[in-house]
């Protein structure tokens, strides 16, 4: 069962720069944060981020699951490359309840000139390049796992998202 399921809200994944657009870095980071809260092993998370990055770079399927607490594995994210007429793209399925499934197609985005798949690839590379800072953020908020008071959990979860978006926009120190 998801540790943070009752606190997930689609607004947490919204991009602050583009109205009603999901922030790819937030979606990916939230899935890996949930993974971390179940395993509490930074090296395992770092290895999974590396596996995810390699899969996306190579256009290979990737599924992030955990089975630390349950008999059945729980899926956190899925990535499936697709071939379009205009080039390759992908489907990204979020299972953290922060976003609907995304079609990352090779056409240019209506706001920016880059394609959605290029934007996603940029987000993946950005996370990979700053993985140690992201893991520091996970460490800072791992207390969420053990908090019993719902108000304290919600406050820490909200603060995590504020810090996550600060990190995403390269202001995290």
User: What per-residue confidence (pLDDT) applies to 70?
Assistant: 60
Rounded Cα distance between 48 and 157, Å, is 22
Nearest to 138 by CA among 70, 53, 37: 37
Q: What is the pLDDT along the chain (173 residues), one digit of tens a residue?
A: 455 554 455 555 666 666 666 788 989 999 999 999 988 899 999 999 999 999 999 999 999 998 865 678 889 999 999 998 888 999 999 988 888 888 898 876 555 677 889 989 999 999 999 999 999 999 999 998 888 888 988 898 889 988 988 888 764 43
User: What per-residue confidence (pLDDT) applies to 172?
Assistant: 41
Domain ranges within the chain, ordered by starting residue: 5-168
User: What per-residue confidence (pLDDT) applies to 9?
Assistant: 52
Rounded Cα distance between 8 and 159, Å, is 13
User: What per-residue confidence (pLDDT) applies to 76?
Assistant: 94
DSSP sequence for 27-75: HHHHHHHHHHHHH--HHHHHHHHHHHHHHHHTT--EEEEE-SSSSS-EE
């Amino acid at each position: 069962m998801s540790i943070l399921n009752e606190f997930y809200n689609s607004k947490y994944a919204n991009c602050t720069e583009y109205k009603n657009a999901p922030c790819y870095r937030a979606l990916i980071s939230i899935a890996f944060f949930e993974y971390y809260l179940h395993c509490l092993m930074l090296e395992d998370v770092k290895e999974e981020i590396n596996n995810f990055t390699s899969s996306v770079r190579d256009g290979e399927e990737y599924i992030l699951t955990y089975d630390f607490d349950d008999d059945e594995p729980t899926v956190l994210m899925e990535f499936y490359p697709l071939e379009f007429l205009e080039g390759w793209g992908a489907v990204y399925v979020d299972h953290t309840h922060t976003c609907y499934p995304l079609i990352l197609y090779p056409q240019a985005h209506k706001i920016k000139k880059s394609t959605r798949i290029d934007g996603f690839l940029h987000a993946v590379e950005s996370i990979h390049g700053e993985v140690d800072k992201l893991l520091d953020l996970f460490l800072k908020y791992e207390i969420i796992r053990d908090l019993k008071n719902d108000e304290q959990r919600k406050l820490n979860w909200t603060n995590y998202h504020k810090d996550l978006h600060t990190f995403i926009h390269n202001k995290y120190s």
